[in-house]
Structures are given as structure tokens and as C-alpha cells.
Amino acid sequence: MKGDTPVNSTMSVGQARKLVEQLKIEASFCRIKVSKAAADLMAYCDAHACEDPLISPVPTSENPFREKKFFCALL
């Protein structure tokens, strides 16, 4: 925490109180390990992969953005 916010004699009492309040808020956060967060994220992605149109594409007949093919007929 040395490099985060230097507390010096020019800091006002109001600024110091704001800093203390912010630090109290940050200290009260519930933290989890990165490995657990990554595992949870991967489980979520695996569970919802079937709903993702980038992973399992929308059938061509249902895709409103497909290219329309125009045929020219010359008589």
C-alpha cells in the first residue's frame, strides 16, 4: 500500500476521511481465489455454450442476416 496513496502533511482531514472510508469499503468486499473464479466462469461458459450463436451457428433457414441470393434470368 506504500505506492497507492501517499499520506502527507498537505492532505486535508476531509481527504483523509474519504480515503479511510474508501479503504473500509474495499476491505469489506468478499474475495475469492482467481482459480475458483476462473473455474466458475468456465463452468458458466460450458453450460451456456449451446445458446451462443457464435459457437453453435443459427440454422441458415432461421438466420435473418443471411445473404439473399438473387438470380438473373435473361429471356
Query: Does residue 40 fall inside a structural domain?
Result: yes
Query: Does residue 41 fall inside a structural domain?
Result: yes
CB 55 within 8 A of CB 49: yes
Query: Does residue 14 fall inside a structural domain?
Result: no
CB 42 within 8 A of CB 33: no
pTM of the model: 0.46
Query: Does residue 44 fall inside a structural domain?
Result: yes
Q: 17-60 pLDDT, tens per residue?
A: 999 999 999 999 999 999 999 999 999 999 998 888 788 777 77
Query: Does residue 75 fall inside a structural domain?
Result: no
Query: Does residue 18 fall inside a structural domain?
Result: no
Structural domain count of the chain: 1
Domain that holds residue 51: 31-57
Q: Is the pLDDT of residue 74 over 90?
A: no
DSSP string, the chain: -TTT----TTS-HHHHHHHHHHHHHHHTS----HHHHHHHHHHHHHHTGGG-TTTSPPPGGG-TTSPPP------
Which residue type occupies 24?
Answer: K
Query: Does residue 43 fall inside a structural domain?
Result: yes
